[in-house]
Amino acid sequence: MFLRGKKTIYLDLYEDDKKVCNVGFAQFCGSSDLLKLSVQIKKGGESLTGNYPIVVQSKEESACLGTISLQHGIGTFEKEWRIQGETVKIGNISIAWEDMQGVYAQGLDMQFIWGGIHSHTPRKVHTTKPVLEKEMEKKCQSQQIAEIFSEQQKNVTELIIQENFCKDKWEQLLKEYPNVHPFSDERVFISIEPKDFLILEESCQRLVHNSFLLHGFYNYRHVILGKDKKMGSNSETCFYLGVPGTFFEREKQVAVMFGFEGFESAGAVEIGKFGYYMREVFI
């Protein structure tokens, strides 16, 4: 059931992954058909001056709500949305209350403000400036990808039904997309873009809005999809979507936050090594 009543989340300032102090709060107020958010930043410090994105993070995605204008660490932000059944539509995505994870605002360098929605102790967000900076700078590109994706869905029949049609969908995809061997072994993956996510099951197509995935795509211009052994199993197979990036503990924690629970590279995984953050998907 979507929130009816009030929920207050205390916001903390972090610097270099360490909690510095409480800086204010975010309050959600839900009525029968409206959800209102009020953010009050009261003591963020001299360095927090300017306009900063306010983001709501769900289990798999994040949605930018707008910007909060801070003067010497002080500012307010308000927004409201109409509740549609058990979800609220923010931008291009619909989020259920139980899927919301927290509210954050990106500051300067390694500063950020975070408050967890479903925990009594605010959960720390391990994020880096490039992730959110790239997201904000290219939010128009994200919208364009969503529009292209929508147009591609209209032509799904043309994409799948061809003269050399295969009964096995994976075999068909191997013919339609560039084949790659990202881990320098016999495993075959295909190189795709977010606009191609129509080949995934409908439940996985929402990844077209996943901020971590888009960040990796903007940097390397591709993601990979492939069939492999299921993690923890010697015989069962499944499909994995991989986002390119380099391995660092902080980046790994951001990846987990956005649903990418594994990392794989050619050879042993080492700090600073290029590879792919992986998550299971269905086609």
Q: What is the pLDDT of residues 9-56, one digit of tens each?
A: 888 888 766 778 888 888 888 887 888 999 998 876 666 787 888 888
Reduced to 3 states, what is the DSSP secondary structure of residue 217? helix
Q: CATH 2.60.40 spans which residues of the chain?
A: 5-125
Separation of CA 13 from chain center: 21
For domain 5-125, say whether CATH 2.60.40 is its number.
yes
Is residue 189 within 8 A of residue 179, CB to CB? The reply is: yes
Amino acid 69 reads: S
Q: What angle do CA 151, 91, 211 make, to 5 degrees?
A: 80
User: Token digits for 169?
Assistant: 């969908």
pLDDT for the residue numbered 50: 79
Contacts of 85 (CB under 8 A, 6+ apart): 2
Q: What is the pLDDT of residues 200-259, one digit of tens each?
A: 998 899 999 898 999 899 889 999 999 998 877 777 889 999 999 999 988 888 899 899
Q: Which residues of 122-135 are buried (b: 16+ CB within 10 A; e: fewer)?
A: bbbbbbbeebbebb
Q: What is the pLDDT of residues 172-211, one digit of tens each?
A: 899 989 999 999 899 999 999 998 998 999 889 999 989 8
Q: What is the pLDDT of residues 67-124, one digit of tens each?
A: 888 888 888 999 988 888 888 887 667 888 878 878 888 765 567 788 887 543 333 3
Place of tokens 């015989």: 235
Is the model's pTM score more than 0.75?
no
Q: Which residues of 61-78 are buried (b: 16+ CB within 10 A; e: fewer)?
A: bbbbbeebebeebbbebe
